[in-house]
Amino acid sequence: MLHRAFALVLMLPALALAQPRPVLERIEPTSGPPGTTITLVGRNFQGVGRVRIGETTVPIRERLPFRWSVVVPQGATSGPVILDTQQGEFVGPYFRVTAALPAPTVTGLSPLVGPPGGEVAIVGTGFSTVLSENAVSLAGRPVVVRSASPTELRVIVPQGATTGSFVVRVANAGEVQTPVFTVAAATAITELVPPAGPIGSSVTIRGAGLSGGQVQVFFGRARAVIERASDTEIVVRVPPRARTAPVTVDVRGAGRAISPMPFEVRAIPRIVAMHPESGPPGTLVTVQGRDFGADASVIGVDVGGRVQIVRSAGDRALQFEVAPGTTTGPLTVSVRGLAAAEHPVFSSTGSLRVDGFTPTSGPAGTVVTFRGAGFSPVLTANSVTISGAPAQVVAATGDTLQVRVPSAPAGVFEVRVGSSVVRTTQPFVISQPPFIASFEPRIAAVGERVKIRGASFGTNLRLVRVSLNGTPMPIVGLRDDEIEVEVPRGATRGRIVVEVSLQGGTASADELEIEAHRQVSALSPSSAFPGTELTIRGQGFPAAGIRVQFLGVPAVDARRLSPVELRVIVPNGATTGPVTVLLPNGRTMPAGELTVTATPSGTAITAIEPACPNPGCIAILRGHGFSGTTRQVLVRFQGEPARVREVTPTSITIQIPNRAGNARFEVTLPGNVRIESPPFLVTSR
């Protein structure tokens, strides 16, 4: 028994020597106030009996195989981290004990009432700028902290929350309690009655939580005047600048709601003119006016109570075919139930009849006059063919019809007006002069070039003449199947006529429209720094190919919003001086003088330039003072990150994240610089 005890005593030093020495690779963090949790990273900690900072023993909170956690106690002073074992002490990295953090305080809460999902600002002192170091709860329920600064926390009221105080716990600093926050019913929109209507019409918004504070109603971005409001219903008038968009109700202290479906702003249609004012069944009638829309399926037309056949529709004109059995009576046009106040009278004429035509022979392009009855005064309502080839109708009244003969074999004419068809008994013999198949563009300005395509033009410039309403059009290129001409000064809308000596002449089936005079009327703003978006207003801007020349730099592309408005970004390197609009045809338009100023100090977002407001679309945040790479710049929208595609000193190009709503983009730049954009509405696809 004594031998065994003696042997055990001899083995104890050997066991101690066999214990591997601890290795302390690093500590995280290397400094902090009392209460800070230090993570010890290393190995072979199993033989450690005590941990010290200098001479102060620190309590061990957690033991893992390669990671221990200890807590800096009150009264501790700076010193190395020391591991005490049976083999002695092992000295690790140095830890600096800093002054204790001040306890957090609360000086304000805004708002004091709000719904679940609403945002609340907790104002005070002593908050941490690190989100995870601010733990907030409301009546015992955890709360999401959306943003944090030393003097303000922005939090989201959780779903299912009840009225109570927020409790804010700041790591290593303590906790504080806010005044009582009242959880209100969430603002919601369930119905718009009616769901569509014109500017100025009355709309009833139904839902919940629609009162209780200052209430604002927006149709898109246009603010509406509230006539009366209750908790479940608001009555407003559609504001003058409203466009088809969701309706937003913003109740201060209760939240914001967006209608599930957009309100469709539709004006009452108006009739300005009708051509022709008479004709037989089958006549194609054009009604000019406004606010018809382009969907023929929702337009109703009747004459004297008989429903007509709508053939085409545009916002300012529609066409209908006079239905069989129509008698003289007032015209009624309605669009989705909204009827025009004007009711011009349409007179129905007799049946279609052809008594004869002259001449009876000639080359393609010959104008033939038909005599008879039941023709439509609207050219396009009359269809004439010869040997199956369509002829161009150039003039029409109720009893005469003039057509231009196409290039086709000799044969009889077939005249069709609506559903009525008549064939001549006598054939027409056709020769082969030139003809026009098409021309482009259909709309051109003075000085622009137009290409006329067809056949049998020849290649001798001395034999070819092109005119528009009798005004010669200079020829700049000629082939047998194509002529290129220039629109002359003083040109007016009309058909293009091509005449070839010894061959005859022909006119285009469609009219060439002359675009309005082009000019620039305003440049706004007149003073800006590089990266600023300018607006150039005027008239006659072409659809594409527009560039803008600034002083001191190459020309840059402009974005055309409409024929009367351009947008362009002041390029880097531009200097004070004239700004010129460069048109695709080589012409220029002075846009005024621009004073180029220095880029303002600091960092700010001044504008948002979206290609579209839907998730996934590209948007550009414009401003100044931006820095960093695409990986260093963080952009969030309602807490959801947006993909950053490009960063320049004056722009940040992003992809809109998949979260709809009206909020601000939050941008974090290198150096923890944080800025917000103006409000931006992201709509669902």
- pTM listed for this prediction: 0.30
Segment 163-184 shows an average pLDDT of 88
Domains recognised in the chain with CATH numbers: 17-97 (2.60.40.10), 105-183 (2.60.40.10), 188-265 (2.60.40.10), 270-348 (2.60.40.10), 353-422 (2.60.40.10), 435-514 (2.60.40.10), 519-596 (2.60.40.10), 604-682 (2.60.40.10)
Burial class (CB in 10 A: 0-12, 13-18, 19+), 40: buried
**Can you point out the beta strands (E) in 480-602?**
482-486, 494-500, 504-514, 519-524, 527-528, 533-539, 547-551, 556-557, 559-562, 565-569, 575-582, 588-596
pLDDT of 6 > 60? The answer is no
| Nearest residue to 346 via CA among 276, 293, 251, 425 | 276
What confidence tier does 17 reach under pLDDT thresholds 50, 70, 90? low
- Paired tokens of 291: 């606010």
pLDDT of 14 > 80? The answer is no
Q: What share of the chain is helix, strand, coil (3-state, %, to 5)?
A: 5, 55, 40
Q: Which of 205-209, 598-602, 610-614, 664-668 has the highest mean pLDDT?
A: 664-668
DSSP state at residue 428: B
Task: Look at 208-212, 306-310, 527-531, 593-597 and tell me which has the smallest mean pLDDT.
Answer: 208-212
Q: Determine the length of the chain.
A: 685
What confidence tier does 142 reach under pLDDT thresholds 50, 70, 90? very high
Burial class (CB in 10 A: 0-12, 13-18, 19+), 651: buried
Distance between CA 432 and CA 69 in Å, rounded?
100
Residues contacting 501, CB < 8 A, separation 6+: 463, 464
pLDDT digits (tens, 9 = 90+) for 220-277: 999 999 999 888 899 999 999 898 999 999 887 667 889 989 998 888 899 999 988 8
Average pLDDT, the chain: 88
- Paired tokens of 205: 């918004």
| Nearest residue to 481 via CA among 449, 464, 457, 503 | 457
| Nearest residue to 149 via CA among 166, 171, 134 | 134
Long-range contacts of residues 635-644, Cβ cutoff 8 Å, at least 24 apart: 635/665, 635/666, 635/667, 635/668, 636/665, 636/666, 637/663, 637/664, 637/665, 637/666, 637/680, 637/682, 638/663, 639/146
Q: What percent of the chain is modeled with pLDDT above 90?
A: 48
Task: Look at 111-115, 144-148, 387-391 and tell me which has the smallest mean pLDDT.
Answer: 111-115
Segment 359-368 shows an average pLDDT of 86
